[in-house]
Amino acid sequence: MMHKLSLSELEQAHEQALRLQEQCVSQGIGIISYYDADFPEMLRHCLSESGKLAPAILLYYRGSLAALTKQGVAMIGTRNPSAGALTACQYFGEKLAAVGFNIVSGLALGCDGACQQAAVDIGGTTTAFLANGLAWENLYPEQHLFLAQQIVECGGLLLSEYAPQLQAHARAFVERDRLQAGLALATIAIQCRQKSGTMHAINATLHSKKPLFVVQYKHKNDCEHEQCSGNSYLLNSGQAQPLRSDNFTDVLSQLQKQGAYSWWALLGALYLANPPYGHDFAAVFLTLEASPRKIAKPALIKLGLLRQA
C-alpha cells in the first residue's frame, strides 16, 4: 500500500531539494532530469541487465552536456588487465575518439580508465558514469581524480545518479553499468572474466539488441590470461563479434552505420508523433542515410519539429 504524504512531509522534501540544488550550484554540479528536453533520448529507453526498462530519472553532471550529442561507444573491461589489453585500450580508444565517438565508460581502474585516458590524450570526448556522488572528495577511485578533472576540462562529462556527497557502494557499480550500455550504440569488451562486473553492462547491451564486440587477442599470454575467459565465452557462443586491429575498419563502418540507424529511428519516432508531414518526411529520410549528422538538424527544421535559429 502506497504511503500518503502529508503536507508537512511534502514541504520538508521540497526544502531538502532546494538545499541540494544550492549545494550542487556551489560545487559546479549540474542536474538534468528525465523530463528535461536535453535529457539523452537513449537513456529514456535504457534497459537493465535483466532486460527491464530502467531509465535514469535524475542525473548529476560535471562537464559539458554537448558530449551527449556525439554517438557513444561503451568501452569496458577488467580492473586487472594484461599488457595486451592495456595496449588494446589505448589503440581502440584513440582510434574511436579520433573519428568523433564519445567513449563511454566507468572511470574504473584498469580497462575503463585506460580507454578514457586514451580519448583524453588525443583531445577526444569521453563520458564517465560514476558509482558515487560528484563531490571531488568522494570521487572513486581516488587514483583517477586527475583523469576525471581532465575529462571535464576537455569537454567530456561525468554523470551520476547519486547526490554529490554520497560515497560509492557495491550496488551502485551494478546500477551504473546499465547506463553505460544505455548511452552507447554499441559496447566493446576489452578483457573480462566470464563471471565479472563487466558482464552487467554486456547483458544490458545484449538485451537492448545492440552490437557487442570483444577484443580477440593473437598472443598466447593474452588469450590464456585469467581475465580473458569472458572474451572466449562471448566469442565462442556467438554473442559477440570479434574486434582486432586488422578488422577495425570493418567494425568502424558497422558502428557508423549503427549511428545512422539511430538517427533513422529517432526521426521515425518523431514522424509517428507528427504524421501530417508525409512526403517531405520520406524525402528527408532518403537524404539522411548519406550523412546523418549533417542532415539531422535541417531535417528536424523541415519537419517543423525544430525552430530555425
Which pLDDT tens digit goes with each residue over 205-233? 999 999 999 999 998 889 889 999 999 99
Domain span(s) for CATH 3.40.50.450 in the chain: 27-239
Q: Which of 99-108, 113-122, 277-286 is predicted least confidently?
A: 277-286
Judge whether residue 303 has pLDDT over 50: no
Q: Does residue 144 or residue 224 have the better pLDDT?
A: 144
The count of other CB atoms within 10 Å of the CB of residue 122 is 12
Q: Which of 89-103, 142-156, 231-245, 274-288 is predicted least confidently?
A: 274-288
Mean pLDDT, residues 3-9 taken together: 82
Mean pLDDT, residues 98-110 taken together: 97
**What's residue 291's pLDDT?**
40
**What's residue 257's pLDDT?**
84
Distance (Å, whole) CA 271 – CA 276? 8
Q: Which of 3-17, 132-146, 279-293 is predicted least confidently?
A: 279-293
Domain 27-239 architecture: 3-Layer(aba) Sandwich (3.40)
Mean pLDDT, residues 64-84 taken together: 96
Distinct helix (H) and strand (E) counts, the chain: 12, 9
**96 in Cβ contact with 254 (< 8 Å):** no
**What's residue 5's pLDDT?**
77
**What are the Cα distances from residue 191, in Å, to 71, 79, 216?**
23, 9, 9
Please give the share of the chain, as a percent, with pLDDT higher than 90.
Answer: 73
The amino acid at 83: A
Judge whether residue 9 has pLDDT over 90: no
Give the residues across from 32 on adjacent strands.
Answer: 59
Q: For 168, which DSSP code?
A: P
Q: What is the pLDDT of residues 60-73, one digit of tens each?
A: 999 999 999 999 99
The amino acid at 1: M
Give the residues across from 59 on adjacent strands.
Answer: 32
**What are the Cα distances from residue 196, in Å, to 79, 129, 167, 227, 228?**
10, 18, 22, 9, 11
Q: What is the pLDDT of residues 244-299, one digit of tens each?
A: 999 999 999 999 888 765 554 555 544 444 444 444 444 444 444 334 444 444 54
Q: For 194, which DSSP code?
A: S
Give the CA angle between residues 43, 117, 160 to the nearest 5°: 30
**What's residue 118's pLDDT?**
98
Q: Does residue 199 or residue 8 have the better pLDDT?
A: 199
**What's residue 38's pLDDT?**
86
Please give the share of the chain, as a percent, with pLDDT higher than 70.
Answer: 83
Supply the pTM of this predicted model.
0.84
Query: 124: Cβ–Cβ under 8 A, 6 or more apart, which residues?
Result: 94, 96, 97, 98, 101, 103, 154
Average pLDDT, the chain: 87
pLDDT band at 10 (very low <50, low <70, confident <90, very high): confident
**What are the Cα distances from residue 304, in Å, to 36, 267, 274?**
20, 12, 9
CA 174 to chain centre: 14
